Amino acid sequence: MMENILDDYAQQSTLRETDTRAKLLLGGGAIAAALISAGPIAPAFIAASMAAITVGIARIPARFYAALLTIPLSFAVLSAGVILFLSGGGETVWSMPISGITLAVTTGSANQAALVLARTFAGMCALFFIALTTPMVEIFTVMRSLRLPPEFVDLAMLIYHFIFVLIGEAVATRNAQEIRQGYAGFGNSVRSFSMLAGTLFVRAWEKGEELILAMDARCYDGIFPACGGETTLSRGGAAAVAAYLILCGSLALLTGGIQIF
């Protein structure tokens, strides 16, 4: 069971006690800088620097971090491949006729594919920085401090809780089905999956009712208590965050016209 592994690493991170608002600002600002860049240089720098901060400063194991990056890698490569052959513009770099259809790669499509790939990695590295250094309970605390509606924050907390409830129920049910050869053959697989979906719906309903009873037994008054601790940010840390975001923004503006091809 690997449901809580991101939060486990966030709890053990060396940046665990760093101010949550600063980490959110750093990750969100890096994503914004990658999105406004018209060239791949700034997003590539953001991806490399955020990965270096996560692995080098936050002390997240490099092997685990690389395994996480393989998840968006497949989607990014597929998207870049589609853009590479379907978008046009510029000079032809490579072409191949296949069954009367000519597949061609132009400088415009190559630059667009490189930009999409760089932006994707920059965004994912920034999101992984937040996820691997900031426990969710602290993010909920920041949401409360920002005076967001209590109903919105409580709903987010319940959704986050039930994600893992559903995952746990699905894994347990599927393991029981596999032990009984429930996925031996296509027909059995279809029947087992349909039973899994139905059972998961019923179990989710039951878990929801159990949660309501537990909340009522604890005198729930409509608002969940905030569980996150208060964190502080030093002047040096604030200056470092500001300097990094200024550097990323400047790099995005200055290198927007630089293309690879």
Residue 90 lies in a domain: yes
- Measured between alpha carbons, how far is residue 2 from residues 9, 81, 170, 199, 214 in Å? 12, 31, 13, 22, 26
Q: Are residues 125 and 18 in the same domain?
A: yes
Average pLDDT, the chain: 84
For tokens 């929801």, name the residue.
208
pLDDT score of 225: 66
Own/partner pairs, 143-146, CB within 8 angstroms, 24+ separation: 144/226, 145/21
Asked if 108 and 60 sit in the same domain, the reply is yes
The pLDDT of residue 3: 47
pTM of the model: 0.80
> pLDDT of 69-82, one tens digit each?
888 888 888 888 88
- The dihedral built from the CA positions of residue 229, 125, 168 and 172, taken in this order, carries a sign that is negative
Asked whether residue 23 falls in the same domain as residue 120, the answer is yes
The pLDDT score that the predictor gives to residue 107 is 79
**68 shares its domain with 102:** yes
Give the pLDDT confidence of 33-55 residue by residue, as tens digits.
999 998 899 999 999 999 999 99
164-193 burial, b if ≥16 CB within 10 A, otherwise e? ebbeebbeebbeebeeeebbeeeeeeeebe
Same domain, 39 and 59: yes
* CA separation for the pair 34, 115 (Å, rounded): 10
Do 92 and 149 belong to one domain? no
User: Residue 181: which domain range?
Assistant: 142-217
Same structural domain, 106 and 210: no
DSSP class of 92: E
In a domain, 157, yes or no: yes
Q: CA-to-CA distance for 196 and 209, rounded, in angstroms?
A: 20
Here the tokens at position 245 are 């975001």
90: left (phi over 0), alpha (psi -120 to 50) or beta: left
Residues with Cβ within 8 Å of 254's Cβ and at least 6 positions away in sequence, in order, are none
Is residue 260 in some structural domain? Answer: no
- One domain, residues 62 and 175: no
One domain for residues 120 and 164: no
